[in-house]
Amino acid sequence: MKKIFVINGLPGTGKTLFGQIISEILSRKSVDFTHTSSILPIKHIMLPKNKWDEAIIQKNYWEDLYKIRIGITKKDWDGTTKNVFWRKIMSEIKLLIVKNKPNFINNWILDQVTKLGKNAVVFVDIREPENIEALKLHVKNNFKNIQVKAVCIESDFNEDFDNYSDSSVGNYAYDIYVNNQRKGFKSEEEAKNNLQKNALEFVKKYII
C-alpha cells in the first residue's frame, strides 16, 4: 500500500531536513520515496509565464491560473526568494486557487503519487488544516490503496512569518508529532543526530 504523510510545521522547524533523513533511510531499504509540496504548483505559476512548463502543470489550466495569479500580483517571482512578502503572496494565491478550483492541487499531488511504485512513501507539505482534510477525503473517496496520515514537525526554533497558511499550522490535531528540538545540544550536529534518531523511530513505527 502506498503511504502519504502530510508534513507540516512552522517555517524553519526542519521539515525539509526530516524529509532528507527519511529519504536516506528508505533508500537503504530500497523503498520508493519522494518529498513534494502543495505549494510547488503555486511557485511555478509565480514564475514569468514564458517559463511555465506543461510537464509540471497541464496547459489547459494555464489561462485560469494566470488570471487568478495576476488578481493578487502582477510581479514575477525570481524562483528563489522566500521572504515574508513572497510567502504571503503565495499563501493568498493558493487560497484563491483552492476556492475556485477545489481539486486542482489534490489532483496535482495524486498525479505525482500514482507514478510511483505500489509501496511508495510520499511526503507532501501542506500548511492549511482545511487542505489537509480535503486531501484526506479526496484520497479516501478515490484511492482505496493509499493511506494518508498528517505529521507535525515541532521545534523550539522557527522563522518569522506573516501569512494565513503558516499561522494555521497549530490549528489541527495531527496523527503524528515529530520532535526536532534544537536548544540544549552542544552543536547543530548533535541536534541533527537527535532528529535522525526520531526519524528512525518514525520509519519503524509507521513505514516498515
CA–CA gap between residue 53 and residue 123 (Å, rounded): 23
Q: Which residue has the cell 520532535?
A: 179
Torsion over CA: 164, 169, 175, 180 (sign): positive
| Buried residues in 73-107 as b, exposed as e (16+ CB within 10 A) | eeeebeeeeeeeebbbbbbbbbbbbbeeeeebbbe
| Euclidean distance between CA atoms 17 and 64, whole angstroms | 34
State the pLDDT at residue 82.
Answer: 87
Reported as a single tens digit per residue, the pLDDT across 198-208 is 999 999 999 99
Q: What is the Cα–Cα distance from 161 to 8, expressed in whole angstroms?
A: 14
User: Max alpha carbon distance in the chain (Å)?
Assistant: 53
- Domains of the chain (ranges; CATH) run 1-208 (3.40.50.300)
Q: What's the pLDDT tens digit per position in 140-175?
A: 999 999 999 999 999 988 878 888 888 999 999 999
pTM attached to this predicted model: 0.91
> Which residues fall within 8 angstroms of residue 74, CB to CB, at 6 or more apart?
none
CA dihedral sign, ordered 165, 171, 173, 176 = positive
Please report which confidence band the pLDDT of residue 188 belongs to, taking 50, 70 and 90 as the band edges.
confident
Question: Mean per-residue pLDDT for 132-140?
Answer: 97
Instruction: Give dist(CA 11, CA 59) in Å, integer.
Output: 31
Percent of the chain scoring above 90 in pLDDT: 87
Rounded percentage of the chain residues whose pLDDT exceeds 70 = 100
